[in-house]
Amino acid sequence: MTKINFDDLIKSLYGSLIDPDGFKPFLSKLIEQCNFRSGALIMANMETRDVNVIWMEGLELENLQLFMERLDRKDPLIEELVKAAPGSLIIAGDATREVARINEPEFYRDWICNLDIHYAAGAVLTIEGSWVSQMVFQRRQDQGMFLPDEMDMLKQLIPHMQHAMHLHHLKVDQDKQRLLSQLLFDQIQQPVILLDNANNVCHCNQKANAFLSKSMPLKIINRKLHSIKANENTEMDLAINACRTSKSTQTVHIKTIDNHVLALTFAPLVKENNSIENGVAIFIYNSEQAPNLDLQILRDLFNLSDKEGKVCCELVNGRSPAEIADLHYLSYETVRTYIKRIMKKTQTSRQNELVAKLMSSPAFYPITSPSKV
């Protein structure tokens, strides 16, 4: 057995609660000390068998793409874990691998053989409704099977993992409540994701959570928003940087697995009363069916003029004041004046707050349901 500093692991685990990189450094330390190939914290649904990878170390993004697209429901270890009680430790060794070879040849070929994942260990941390929180670790064939002492160490680690995850969820809920007391994004009938200044996902509204649970192109892994295509991740990173640098909205188009086109509009969050410094809001919609505002309802709600209503529509569609000025042959100063008037009438003080209020009003209707985006 590799020499393991258990106290050091526990210190790293609880340090994850305040580390900007979350549980990723802990997973890295655990994998190194225990001679694992890789490890992950995942959520698995007992009813649908869907799997979401929350934290991951040691696997490439394309490996996760393969797993989540084709193999997640064929993994015999996860199949056992979703039926196990919290605190259970389950080992997948030679016998499990032989069962997979016979019953799930695709999983055996593409996951066990091609990626050299010959041994695995998994533990159930918590069960919330139909979702099971799990930690899973893998080993290559040359690293050998888990020894009794190593399994004892993992069993000792499980209660600490459960406690740390509980504290993590409490912290997330507290941060979310503090955030939602100032922003209206949870009321928007469209997927919205908020990033902090380190590009970590700090909040998803209800529509975004539903969208991410069903959508293959975008996933949150290690607190980062990822596309399953590397070139699209580069485009998103460039858009986020441009959004912050120029303080203007940016849009990226990505394709879904069924060739629909999604538009991701990145909007900077202004640091005033907002608790997210240098944050970015990401609005997701079908680029061919952009969201709309009913101008008549909008004017009646907030006593807006026709021109003010049109400016509202452009803001909701992700256009900056400069773009609105060019599009409608107005000066930039005129558009800013309209926006100031609109803010006064809507009782908002920041542009992102204004957009959120417009999109949470009865005047807003997405042509396409966000769950089908």
Q: What is the pLDDT of residue 290?
A: 56
- The residue count of the chain comes to 373
Check: CB of residue 345 under 8 Å from CB of residue 304: yes
Q: Per the structure block, which two tokens stand in for 164?
A: 């740390």
What's the confidence (pLDDT) of residue 155? 92
For the record, the structure tokens of 219 come out as 């996933």
d(CA 76, CA 133): 16
Confidence of residue 334 (pLDDT cuts 50, 70, 90): very high
Taking alpha carbons only, the member of 157, 171, 163, 112 closest to residue 139 is 112
Token digits of residue 179: 């955030």
CB atoms within 10 A of CB 105: 11
Task: Inform me whether the pLDDT recorded for 336 exceeds 90.
Answer: yes
Q: Look up residue 347 and give its amino acid.
A: Q
Per-residue pLDDT at 217 = 80
130: which residues sit within 8 A by CB, 6+ positions away? Answer: 45, 46, 47, 48
Contact 28, 40 (CB under 8 A): no
pLDDT at position 145 is 93
User: What pLDDT is recorded for position 215?
Assistant: 63
Which residues make beta-bridge pairs with 264?
A: 252, 284
Mean pLDDT on 211-236: 83
What are the chain's domains? 6-167 (3.30.450.40), 178-218+228-372 (3.30.450.20)
> In a 10 Å sphere around its CB, with 0-12 CB exposed, 13-18 middle and 19+ buried, how is residue 142 labelled?
exposed
Nearest to 215 by CA among 205, 203, 226: 226
Is residue 350 within 8 Å of 358, Cβ to Cβ? no
242 or 365, greater pLDDT: 242
> What is residue 341's predicted lDDT score, i.e. its pLDDT?
94
pLDDT over 80 (residue 238): yes
The predicted pLDDT at position 160 comes to 92
> Angle at CA 204, nearest 5°, toward 125 and 136?
25
The dihedrals phi and psi of 220, each to the nearest 5 degrees, come to: -100, 115
Three-state DSSP state, 336: helix
| Residue that is written with structure tokens 């869907």 in the block | 50
pLDDT score at 177: 62
Angle at 146 between CA 143 and CA 150, to 5 degrees: 115
Segment 18-35 mean pLDDT: 89
Between 317 and 99, the more confident residue is 99
User: What confidence category does residue 198 fall into, taking pLDDT thresholds of 50, 70 and 90?
Assistant: confident
- Distance CA(151)–CA(129), nearest Å, equals 28
Tally helices (H) and strands (E) across the chain. 14, 14
